[in-house]
Homo-oligomer: A and B are copies of this chain.
């Protein structure tokens, strides 16, 4: 039934003929289409060409097959071409969802210095295409069946080796794959939290941690971030007074600040956590972008009270999604049940197969080395250009693609972001990251999404227009 060459053209001819009849009302809503045999004879094509054309028109929604009785023009007043995309709403509150929805739903052409991912041209495209071509030839079971509850074995094997590189010795029963890094965090929250529980996050922190914790009806408390991790004295104090159940953090290349946890801070955090029975989620989603390895809480703690979470969305693909959780084996057992109940399985087998193939396929390590070098140059260049217009990096991060910056002119970042959005540029204003709402003069910039000169024009204009 595959079309191609002349037979494909004929299929399109039949489709056009039917579309034309509908357009000129020769065929109205609910009308029966010519039988396959009669139309084939009338148009001088084979019946299978008409079948193919009808199937496609049915898939498009213009016509419908009634089982056993032929094809009819769809009765609904819904010409498929009239279906336009739902525009992201511009009037909504600038809350933790604001940046997510504006960046996810913006047209591909809209520059997004506020988003949290790399442009397609910075991703390992060739490796992905190779892996997908190989997937088309793999065994049928993998293409059609549900996966195992822990996720694809090959990818888990690779992950255990990668964890070992971070000095985290995990056994096979301490690891499970999830649909994404966010789903991994969500699953752990479902397992550990009850409505009203207190959760500690960094201030500032990844805005979606705030959105996620809201969904769990958690009470959110923030600890100020310093260039070497959270402010330890404040951390210890909060543990005594607020008794949080959980702390969610990024140790390496902290989002949004780019801070790196020092070994001394890590040790003090874990000592305080043990004293107050605090559990920690260490989200390592940007870890592979580090130029050289820095301390991980999970390594010091040995996956006792620290839960390691990660994904491949930042360096491999956010479209072929998969995440993972490494934790105590007894917790993993419960998390698997919870994932079965709420997702009937974890990562898609097709997704884990593609990811594993890219990771094993040679070339990925080289791609990552080049990416890290390119990021170093780009951070430096963008920082310089930002400084020239009064936007000052709080820190020059060791790696990654974020710059957390202060607007030295004293402008309100939310107003700057709103103004930029009017000009079709998505920015990330500081307060979406801040529990205490003390980052109104800060913004997070994704240096890889600022190549378009338009971004800089809009940014300069928005800075000028914004109230101070």
Q: Are B160 and A78 in contact (CB under 8 A)?
A: yes
A317 interfacial contact with B, CB 8 Å: yes
Q: A86-B173, A133-B133, A161-B74 are in contact. Are A214 and B104 (CB under 8 A)?
A: no
CB within 8 Å for A186 and B104 given contacts A120-B141, A362-B1: no
* Contact indicator B211/A340 (Cβ below 8 Å): yes
A404 to chain B, nearest CB (A): 20
Q: Is the CB of B341 within 8 A of A214?
A: yes
Cα separation A118 to B150 with both chains bound (whole Å): 21
For the complex, is A396 an interface residue (Cβ under 8 Å from B)?
A: no
Q: Is A299 an interface residue (CB 8 A)?
A: no
**Which A residues, 131 to 150, have Cβ-Cβ distances below 8 Å to chain B?**
132-133, 135-137, 139-150
**Residue of A68, A80, A135, A143 with highest tally of chain B CB at under 10 A:** A143
Question: Interface size bucket, A side?
Answer: 35 or more
Q: A272: shortest Cβ distance to chain B, in Å? A: 28
Partner of A182, one of B75, B147, B291, B343: B343
Q: Are A318 and B59 in contact (CB under 8 A)?
A: no
Whether A341 touches B80, Cβ cut-off 8 Å, given contacts A158-B61, A160-B61, is no
Partner of A341, one of B56, B208, B291, B313: B208
A157 vs B145: C-alpha distance when bound (angstroms) = 26
Which residues of the partner chain B approach A214 to less than 8 Å between Cβ atoms?
341
Roughly how many angstroms separate A343 CA and B361 CA in the complex, as a whole number? Answer: 28
Tell me whether B179 and A147 are in contact (CB under 8 A).
no
A400 at the interface (CB under 8 A from B): no
Given A169-B76, A208-B340, A340-B211, A130 and B2 touching (CB < 8 A)? yes
Q: Is there a chain B Cβ closer than 8 Å to A24's Cβ?
A: no
CB contact under 8 A between A348 and B320, given known A150-B86, A341-B97: yes
A141-B108, A144-B123, A172-B86 known; A164 and B349 CB under 8 Å? no
A interface secondary structure, majority: helix
A359 on the B face (CB < 8 A):
yes
- Per the 8 Å Cβ criterion, residues 188-216 of A in contact with B are 190, 194-195, 208, 211-212, 214-215
User: Measured between C-beta atoms, what is the minimum distance from A107 to chain B in Å?
Assistant: 10
**How long is the Cα–Cα vector from A61 to B168 in the complex, in angstroms?**
13
In the complex, the answer to whether B142 meets A183 with C-beta atoms within 8 Å is: no
Decide if B100 touches A344 in the complex (CB within 8 Å). yes
Residues of B within 8 A of A58 (CB): 161, 365
Give per-residue flags for A362-390: 1 if the beta carbon is below 8 A from chain B beta carbons, else 0.
11111001000000000000000000000
Interchain Cβ contacts under 8 Å between A and B, 5 examples: A61-B160, A86-B172, A129-B143, A132-B136, A186-B342
Which residues of A are interface residues toward B (Cβ below 8 A)? 1-3, 51-52, 55-56, 58-61, 64-65, 67-68, 74-76, 78, 80, 83-86, 96-97, 100-101, 104-105, 108, 117-118, 120-121, 123, 125, 128-130, 132-133, 135-137, 139-150, 153, 156-158, 160-161, 164-165, 169, 172-173, 179-183, 186, 190, 194-195, 208, 211-212, 214-215, 291-293, 313, 317-321, 336-338, 340-345, 348-351, 354, 359-366, 369
Q: Known pairs A108-B145, A144-B317, A214-B341. 13 more at Cβ < 8 A?
A: A2-B130, A56-B362, A58-B365, A76-B164, A85-B153, A100-B149, A101-B340, A120-B139, A129-B137, A143-B320, A180-B343, A195-B195, A318-B345
